[in-house]
Structure 1
């Protein structure tokens, strides 16, 4: 009996010791797997997001957008900085020639160009984004708007050889470039504020972006004329869940880095174009709204478009359709049959 009593007492002391230890140190927490920790970090909401891409950030994302007229002539390809733009608008200038308005806010490329001349409808788009407008040259109507300071602007006609530099590997008018450093230098010289954060577009959350619905759209071709020189093709790459862009058979890449241009939202809008002179310059209606297509994550949605206080946005059933987070390309296509433009979408 004494032996059993000693054994029982030892057991009680052992249990008591364990209990006291738990009281001091607390119960042991289950060890978390590395994957769980990483997942928690991913799911943590970031406090800020960029207004033109919706992408989250741990640091503040304010600051003014910069909208640059970029040349799309075959002799100007490949361009510099285009792949870092938050939004790119592709619109006809003269004849079947398209130009780009590239808008930068979340990224600031070292070199941008070739820079080309302004048209009034590009200026209106920059105005809607409260952007500093950069161009080299202008049409008569655009010149009046810029000289009257309709938007804050820097123009190569004033700063050629100073803020704007001519590249030796291309010939004029396809060789004018500006660095982002010189953009800021010019803004400071003209006492333009760079603190005017642009208005925000509407975006899906990351989770919502994984369940985009619509018809399959593996590729789309946008044709501006029978010549095909300015036709563009967008092919969906499931591996990166983005569209790659091609023009005249060549993939759109950055001149310096050779990095491809990747598009998260391809927004195609149809509107009326009127030829206003013998050079082929146009008046383009970006106010009245109309039909459009929105391509995201390999899916196509037929939408309408409207001008919402200067922002061109997709609409369906009277509600603004959100973009997925990332970069957006807006292609403006004529509805006029005589201009022989077309949009062809392939599901496979």
Structure 2
């Protein structure tokens, strides 16, 4: 297990939670009150959303939607990521990462900036039978889309109609789509939007509270560039992870609120550059090593590809997710992950 100190990185980040002991005590009291409120509000919620495990009063039949979201520094902060159930973060060309955001339980008004597809983005989206949204494509991804391997609309065909250009950013970092236009696009193409994905495996509230693992509240995922290296910091009062690129916290463009996460899954996959443009092939089928961070703790896992999804296993059994939102980082080497833990 790779362990390094992240103290220098922590100095660069000023969390809202970094307050006085009096303020911390106040937050703890508020957390206890909120827990009681949540317990009351969730009584009788017997129909959890399939990709978050969070309870709702009615069974959700909504189809998952996958959107390729730009992560270039000129595209930040993005719109809509705070409402994604699952976000995959994966390398495109060079050291640039992109997101494949999966939406099902929540429908953001606006999503973007939307960016171009790669074949492995389509593979990730297919595991949820998603309606796939991108603006542009690699040659390989274009062939897959033209063969109809996944229901989709693309900004190359609908730029200026379903996809709109924002005037406060420059192309290619300014393509956005509303959820209303996603539904409209599905109707135009004759795609159904009422087939919910198969549910993921989630821990019960008791199992989540008793979760075992090595303490690890701060972690870093290196993609080889300070602009794209990722830092996660766990806030025990909120029981949520905050995400940063360097010292810049990941927030929603419209609300300015932080992206708050419950599960951080990091998986190692073989990467190979295949052309002069720096495009990659990523082996998403063979399985391998990984880490699963939950509740300020980490466990080593093995991942498998099952029914099109990346599934973590621990001690031979599927590792359950804490109900809530999940971020999945795909890395060329597990040595790209570092975290603080007791010696």
Alignment TM class, shorter chain as reference: 0.7 to 0.9
Partner of 1:302: 300
Which structure is larger by alpha-carbon Rg, 1 or 2? 1
Please state how far the C-alpha of 1:181 moved relative to its aligned partner.
0.3
Partner of 2:103: 104
Partner of 1:343: 337
Name the structure, 1 or 2, with higher relative contact order (CA <8 Å, separation 6+): 2
Count of equivalent residues: 307
Map residues 137-286 of structure 1 onto 2, 5 A cutoff. Answer: 137-225=136-224, 227-286=225-284
Which residue, 290, 293, 297 being the options, matches 1:292?
290
Q: Secondary structure at the match of 2:206?
A: helix
Please state how far the C-alpha of 1:248 moved relative to its aligned partner.
2.6
State the distance in 1 between where 2:37 and 2:163 align: 45
Go from structure 1 to structure 2 and tell me whether the alpha carbon gap of 1:174 and 1:43 turns closer, same or farther (over 3 Å shift). Answer: closer
TM-score normalised to the size of structure 2?
0.87
CA-atom RMSD in angstroms: 1.6
State the distance in 1 between where 2:240 and 2:270 align: 29
TM-score normalised to the size of structure 1?
0.86
State the distance in 1 between where 2:161 and 2:39 align: 50
Go from structure 1 to structure 2 and tell me whether the alpha carbon gap of 1:308 and 1:40 turns closer, same or farther (over 3 Å shift). Answer: closer
Instruction: Name structure 1 gaps, 5 residues minimum.
Output: 1-36
Structure 1 residue runs of 4+, over 3 Å off? 37-45
Q: Over residues 70-108 of structure 1, what are the superposed CA-to-partner deviations in whole Å (9 max), with x where a residue is unaligned?
A: 000000000000111000000000010000000000000
State the distance in 2 between where 1:267 and 1:285 align: 17
1:68 equivalenced with 2:62 (yes/no): no
Partner of 1:29: none
State the distance in 2 between where 1:245 and 1:122 align: 22
State the distance in 1 between where 2:115 and 2:39 align: 47
State the distance in 1 between where 2:38 and 2:171 align: 52
Instruction: Name structure 2 gaps, 5 residues minimum.
Output: 1-35
Partner of 2:125: 126
Please state how far the C-alpha of 1:43 moved relative to its aligned partner.
7.1
Partner of 1:77: 76
State the distance in 1 between where 2:238 and 2:308 align: 31
State the distance in 2 between where 1:42 and 1:150 align: 41
Go from structure 1 to structure 2 and tell me whether the alpha carbon gap of 1:223 and 1:162 turns closer, same or farther (over 3 Å shift). Answer: same
State the distance in 2 between where 1:177 and 1:143 align: 20
